Amino acid sequence: MTITTEVESERPGVNTTRRGLASYPDDVDARAVAEFHARYQQPTLSELVVVIAAFNEQDGLGPVLADMPKQVHGMDVDVLVVVDGATDETADVARAQGAYTCVADTNRGQGAALRLGYHLAAECGATYIVTTDADGQYDNAEMATLIGPLVDDEADFVTGSRRLGLEESDDRVRWVGVRVFAWLASLLTLRKITDTSFGFRAMRAELACSVTLTEPQYQASELLLGVLARGARLRELPMSMRLRNNGTSKKGKSLRYGANYARVMTGTWLREYVLRGSQR
């Protein structure tokens, strides 16, 4: 069952409405993958691939890539930047820093860009996928800690938690929202969860590609509840979340974002736990 909804675009200058994503690959995905292979042919990426979704992040992305570790747990680190219909020089910045780039010609949202990145990384040989943001909020130096439980076969999905670690926040409403949604996710999944929307996470590539992902923008809780419904072993670790290194958040106004985030979380729970049946 696919739940189709309309959500208003939250990115500046984009005045379209978005529906739930079609199954991968849709037309935008197919064009982006074709462009990627035309540029790189058939590359074999490292076992560990960092996927970054980026929309108009030419100023923030460079420092994130410059600070990226070259190796973690003996594995080379490759970076795949999925440029989500950007109108600036984000793709050029990524290429200048040596990152693989996949350019979607249409701005669809972070969820769409990450889903594309998961599948492309897995197709090109990734065993483990790490996600981080293009705005410098997460500490790349913590990547070895993040990936450790996967390498040691103690978890299938590892996410940082700002509540267990360090949080810098200048938005009181969002600070409250993190705690409210953690409580809701804990209630729905019957397990303790402290942070549902931390963007610095690691997972097995096949797991990332197996989860039903239909949300263009409010994707974090859909991914989290989806992997839990499939019986994945979850580990939360104390991690740092800093203020953006430049610019302002593209997530839109806090109250509207919170309402849509709650809609996606409860809709995913209904689809994965009630209608489809959890495999926990």
pLDDT in tens, 256-276: 889 999 999 999 999 999 998
Examine residue 176 and state whether it is found in any structural domain, yes or no. Answer: yes
Which tokens in the block code for residue 242? Answer: 């800093």
Under 8 Å between Cβ of 70 and 77: yes
Residue 214: partners with Cβ closer than 8 Å, 6 or more residues away: 2, 3, 4, 20, 21, 222
Examine residue 9 and state whether it is found in any structural domain, yes or no. Answer: no
**Is the model's pLDDT at 9 over the cut of 50?**
no
Examine residue 14 and state whether it is found in any structural domain, yes or no. Answer: no
- Angle between the N-to-C axes of helices 110-123 and 27-40, in degrees from 0 to 180, rounded to the nearest 10: 50
Examine residue 15 and state whether it is found in any structural domain, yes or no. Answer: no
Under 8 Å between Cβ of 162 and 197: no
d(CA 107, CA 227): 26
Examine residue 13 and state whether it is found in any structural domain, yes or no. Answer: no
Query: In the prediction, which pLDDT does 5 show?
Result: 36
Which amino acid does the sequence have at 67? D
**Is the model's pLDDT at 6 over the cut of 70?**
no
Examine residue 7 and state whether it is found in any structural domain, yes or no. Answer: no
Examine residue 18 and state whether it is found in any structural domain, yes or no. Answer: no
Q: Which of 266, 225, 214 is nearest to 7 (CA)?
A: 214
Share of the chain above pLDDT 90, in %: 81
Under 8 Å between Cβ of 29 and 116: yes
Among the ranges given (73-77, 92-96, 231-235, 274-278), the one the predictor scored with the smallest mean pLDDT:
274-278
Examine residue 165 and state whether it is found in any structural domain, yes or no. Answer: yes
**Is the model's pLDDT at 4 over the cut of 50?**
no
Which amino acid does the sequence have at 118? Y
Domain containing 92 equals 24-275
Q: How many domains does the chain have?
A: 1
Provide the CATH number for the domain around residue 89.
3.90.550.10
